[in-house]
């Protein structure tokens, strides 16, 4: 059986071996080769023809950033997954790597810091499978079927659409699995109390594939955008400030990592800080964000469910919820609360999602008015701003 082949690039023999062992635990993945720095990786690529590269950033002779520059110069399209050092050390260089075309990043497994290697293993495997599989499809190579024991969407079981809910798109295409009879993500039926009204705030929940998706969307939003945007992007603590700075460089809006008490105002994009929840508090004269260290919700902190629930309570039908690419189902439950409150709710479609987990859960539950392609989202937001901006 053809499998997704991986080139592991790290100057640490221990890390090369650890990453290789994680990859080779899955029968649909294989390690094509290993390299101790970027120069050796470039030499091996023509012979190994990998489907994805797992890349360290701090290496002698040719660093990860230098490799990405050379990859771009040579027109190499193989996706790159970054192994990032922790917070203060790794945030800035990781954002530079994303700007140079890296697809995604994960934290290096570091037992000394008590990191859960099992969780990193799941994330690494899913990202390799998603980006490597998509690259194989673009190149006309067969995409290996996902191992049956793996489930779908990082351990979330596939679901059966309920017959009495609105028409919806089910998962399809290579690697899709037939629905079964298990509960529909335990999400309750919802009925919209009223039609959407003037949109005063837009809330976005996004995870796997999010950094590059947002880098694509925000530059397409016009400078006259008069509706505030609030974003929950699953990201470790210490990274979201640099992420906000990197997004601010490529768009016409003010983008910042949210701080407790920040005003929600036109032309501002607030990103939930890593490992902290973000909620809205609507007051008589202004709306502010509240940042907290409350327990994780839906397995995440920050959680899109937390943001969506607060938007539903504060703005009801005068809001818009957007659920985008990501593993699992964070945001799916409470975008249902927004839908029930009369908000306009939309989700990213399967073809343009790196992982169609979060939007799939919301779509199959019947909580979305429509789905969209990533290419269209910037203009959808612009249209919403043109229609409702004067009322914000």
Catalytic residues: 207, 234, 330
Task: Identify whether the C-beta of residue 10 lies closer than 8 Å to the C-beta of residue 59.
Answer: yes
Sheet containing 370-372, strands listed edge to edge, beginning at the edge strand earlier in sequence: 254-257, 268-271, 229-233, 201-206, 319-323, 344-348, 370-372
Task: Identify whether the C-beta of residue 123 lies closer than 8 Å to the C-beta of residue 106.
Answer: yes
């Amino acid at each position: 059986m053809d499998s997704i082949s991986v080139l592991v690039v790290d100057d640490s023999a221990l890390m090369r071996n650890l990453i290789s062992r994680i990859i080779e635990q899955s029968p649909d993945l294989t390690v094509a080769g290993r390299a101790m720095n970027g120069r050796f990786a470039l030499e091996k690529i023509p012979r190994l023809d990998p489907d994805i590269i797992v890349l360290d950033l701090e290496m002698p002779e040719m660093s990860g950033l230098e490799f990405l520059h050379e990859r771009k110069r040579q027109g190499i399209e193989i996706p790159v997954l970054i192994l990032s050092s922790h917070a203060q050390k790794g945030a800035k260089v990781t954002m530079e790597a994303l700007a140079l075309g890296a697809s995604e990043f994960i934290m290096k497994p570091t037992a000394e810091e008590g990191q859960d290697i099992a969780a990193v293993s799941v994330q690494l495997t899913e990202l390799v499978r998603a980006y490597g599989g998509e690259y194989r499809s673009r190149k006309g190579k067969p995409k290996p079927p996902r191992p049956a024991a793996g489930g779908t969407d990082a351990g979330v079981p596939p679901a059966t659409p309920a017959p009495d809910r609105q028409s919806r798109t089910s998962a399809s295409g290579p690697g899709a699995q037939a629905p079964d009879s298990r509960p529909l993500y335990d999400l309750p039926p919802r009925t919209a109390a009223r039609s959407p009204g003037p949109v005063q705030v837009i809330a976005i929940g996004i995870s796997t594939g999010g950094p590059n998706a947002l880098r694509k969307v925000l530059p397409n939003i016009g400078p006259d955008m008069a509706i505030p945007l609030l974003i929950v992007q699953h990201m470790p603590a210490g990274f979201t400030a640099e992420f906000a700075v990197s997004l601010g460089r490529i768009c016409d809006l003010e983008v910042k990592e949210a701080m407790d008490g920040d005003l929600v105002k036109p032309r501002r994009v607030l990103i939930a800080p890593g490992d902290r929840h973000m909620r809205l508090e609507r007051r008589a004269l202004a709306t502010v964000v509240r940042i907290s260290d409350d327990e994780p919700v839906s397995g995440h902190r920050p959680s899109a469910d937390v943001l969506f629930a607060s938007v539903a309570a504060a703005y009801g039908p005068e809001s818009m919820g957007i659920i985008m690419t990501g593993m699992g189902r964070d945001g799916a439950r409470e975008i249902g609360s927004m839908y029930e409150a009369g908000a306009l709710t939309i989700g990213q479609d399967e073809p343009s999602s790196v992982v169609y987990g979060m939007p799939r859960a919301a779509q199959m539950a019947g909580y979305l008015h429509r789905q969209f392609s990533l290419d269209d989202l910037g203009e959808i937001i612009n249209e919403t701003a043109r229609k409702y901006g004067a009322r914000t």
